Structure 1
Amino acid sequence: MRAICACALALTVTGCVETAPEFAISEPDPQLNFVRGYRSVADECRLVGETAFTVDFLDDAADLVACPTGSAAMASLMAETGAPVITQTNSFSFFSIPYR
């Protein structure tokens, strides 16, 4: 048992332990207001409306879009738009897509 504690302490001290991204939250997913699929009706990435959670991320010159974290839809949205993740919940990654 002491060996395990010593290894864990050594990894922490040397910085080898990965930390969660700054924008991730560890709470359950908040209440979200999904409006529709973003690029099509069947798109897994969804346009998101205002809720207590999203109010700080809404912009009158951009769409707030949520994609299931790690999904193919998320990867394709990032490739198409170049948009970075602005925040994340347990299940969704959020993007602010400016109007063109």
Structure 2
Amino acid sequence: MFRAIIPTLLLIAACTPVPGTAPSSLPFFGNGYRFDGDACRRLGEDAYTNQFLDDAADLVGCPEDLENLGVFVIDTDAQEVARRDGYILYSVPLR
């Protein structure tokens, strides 16, 4: 009996999303913010994000568990504006 359950449990565990990589309802675009492959990405406009958009800043979403998040905030002068779907949303002033 237990032998039949173990493969099922392994299959379920394999489908569990890894934190920071789960699908999001946020309108991300691009391949990374600042450089291709960066974990942070720009956000477009939708019913939720339009309240944070500004002509003088980029709206950027970064995974909450990003290891170098403090460096990103200091380097870009980012200001946290919201949290959603495992991401921190930042307003990053354009220079």
- Normalising by the smaller structure, the TM-score range is 0.5 to 0.7
Task: Give, in angstroms, the shift of residue 81 of structure 1.
Answer: 2.0
Percent identity (aligned)? 39
Match of 1:68 among 63, 67, 72: 63
After TM superposition, the score normalised by the length of structure 1 is 0.64
Contact 2:33 2:41 in 1 (8 A): yes
Match of 2:26 among 20, 23, 32: 32
Question: Could you tell me which residue of structure 2 aligns to residue 4 of structure 1?
Answer: none
**Whole-Å Cα distance in 1 between the matches of residues 62 and 92 of structure 2?**
12
Question: Aligned residue pairs: how many?
Answer: 72
- What secondary structure, in the 3-state scheme, does the structure 2 residue paired with 1:85 have? strand
Deviates more, 1:64-73 or 1:43-52: 64-73
Where structure 1 has 5 or more consecutive residues not aligned to the other structure, the ranges are 1-28
Question: Could you tell me which residue of structure 1 aligns to residue 86 of structure 2?
Answer: 91
Are 2:72 and 1:77 equivalent residues in the alignment?
yes
**Whole-Å Cα distance in 2 between the matches of residues 47 and 56 of structure 1?**
15
**Whole-Å Cα distance in 2 between the matches of residues 95 and 30 of structure 1?**
16
What is the identity, as a one-letter code, of the residue corresponding to 2:64? Answer: T
After TM superposition, the score normalised by the length of structure 2 is 0.67
Contact 2:61 2:90 in 1 (8 A): yes
Please list the CA deviations of residues 48-75 of structure 1 after superposition, one character each: whole Å capped at 9, or x if unmatched: 1011110100001110000001312422
Task: Give, in angstroms, the shift of residue 85 of structure 1.
Answer: 1.2
